[in-house]
Amino acid sequence: MTYHSRLKLLNLERLEVRRLGSDLAFAYKILFSVVCINSEHMLTLRNQPHLRGHKYTLTKPRCTGLVRQCFFSTRVVNIWNNLPADTTDFSSLHKFCASVSTSYLLRFCTVYFE
């Protein structure tokens, strides 16, 4: 059986979607101090709340090398900043994970199945 047919049979999400979801959950844990990591060293909130997006928009760090672009603190920023403000619930981790839909995460996938 192919990978895609096994996923359908077992009713599972693709690995890439699960990774994106866990990246967003970890970013939430860092920003809201659920884990003991200093968020100022990894993720920085944008200090301009009057601009578009939700109130937890992050500043993307500048990076010139390809290696730095693959770091967690860089790769999660675009996905986090594009979260829909009207449907994303930031009140708790469980509500946040439930409010991030799979269809939203599929927009950021690089491999597509039929």
The pTM for the full model equals: 0.82
Q: Is pLDDT of 23 > 60?
A: yes
For residues 1-26, average pLDDT: 90
Domain spans, the chain: 17-106
Separation between Cα atoms, residue 56 and residue 79, nearest integer Å? 12
Q: Are 30 and 73 in contact (CB under 8 A)?
A: no
